[in-house]
Amino acid sequence: MYPKARQTAPPILTDGLIIRTFNKVGEADRFITVLTRDRGVIRAAARGAQKFKSRSGSATQLLCFSRLRLIAGRDAYIVEDAKPLEVFFKLREDIVKTALAQYFCELAGALAPTEEPAEEHLRLLLNALHFLAEDKRPQTLLKAVVEWRLLTLAGYMPQVSGCEGCGKPDGDMLLSTVGGGLYCPACAPGGCLPLPKSAVEGLRRTVMGELSDCFQFSLPDPALHAFSEAAESFLKAQLQRSFRTLDFYHSLETGASLP
Ligand SMILES: [Zn+2]
């Protein structure tokens, strides 16, 4: 199906990850939020997507990475065609993985730009979802890397070069989640979170390195825990909010009853 002749704007071809879906009861259309390569986070309507056997239906499901042909509508884009490129099937088999993936999506939806290219955000999420689906990295590491990296891309990069007080470059450090600086144990003000030496190195790699390096390290357990704690605390302190999907993920981790 091609644009009708009266439509002047050419269709937009881009790839995107479906990060949110909304189905209206009794309607065949599905409303989606997509993290696209070329236009960042956009909203779109997929007409007839809820109909049985609709091709655009499977390609506009949550967590599907799809090739999209879009037309700019008045309030949202209209999905003219959608073809699934990667459906992350293994994510859907495990509720904890699904919950963490949905948190990545909610976070990207809040932190990625709108109507600007978001190639790096998209690649980050696709990498993270791949590793999560395939159990190739610990969930704790994936979560922290996604948090640190999305925050950095959004302009909330912690200062990681050395101690804010004395300039000491290495060793065990502490992070001020509010101020965003690192401190050595001698200079640290109250309320900082500890980051062992290996976690500091991991943090530098995550916020300053190439995307391809971000997931290519491991941390021993106490350092991994500190790296992860610091990421979430820093996120909440900087953004001054939590996320519904994050709370849900934690409720599964602790084995609380499902909502
Ligand atoms: Zn110092």
Q: How far is it, in rounded angstroms, from Cα 55 to Cα 222?
A: 47
H or E segment at 80? strand 77-86
The overall pTM is greater than 0.75: yes
What's the mean per-residue pLDDT of the chain? 91
Percent of the chain at pLDDT above 90?
A: 83
Q: Distance from the CA of 192 to the center of ligand 1, in angstroms?
A: 13
Q: Distance from the CA of 228 to the center of ligand 1, in angstroms?
A: 23
Taking each helix axis from N to C end, the angle separating 119-133 and 95-111, rounded to the nearest 10 degrees, works out to 170
Q: Distance from the CA of 240 to the center of ligand 1, in angstroms?
A: 27
Q: What is the pLDDT of residue 2?
A: 47
Percent of the chain at pLDDT above 70?
A: 92
Q: Distance from the CA of 225 to the center of ligand 1, in angstroms?
A: 23
pLDDT band at 52; cut points 50, 70, 90: low
pLDDT above 90 (res 70): yes
pLDDT band at 24; cut points 50, 70, 90: confident
pLDDT above 70 (res 258): no
Q: Distance from the CA of 223 to the center of ligand 1, in angstroms?
A: 20
Closest to 132 in 3D by CA, of 88, 178, 171: 88
Q: What domains can you pick out in the chain, each with its CATH number?
A: 12-87 (2.40.50.140), 90-253 (1.20.1440.120)
The tens digit of pLDDT for each residue in 188-232 reads 999 999 999 999 999 999 999 999 899 999 999 999 999 999 999
Q: Distance from the CA of 81 to the center of ligand 1, in angstroms?
A: 56
Q: Distance from the CA of 167 to the center of ligand 1, in angstroms?
A: 6
User: What are the angstrom distances between the C-alpha of 248 and each of 17, 95, 98, 107, 236?
Assistant: 21, 11, 11, 14, 16
The tens digit of pLDDT for each residue in 96-141 reads 999 999 999 999 999 999 999 999 999 999 999 999 999 999 999 9
Q: Distance from the CA of 182 to the center of ligand 1, in angstroms?
A: 9
Q: Distance from the CA of 200 to the center of ligand 1, in angstroms?
A: 14
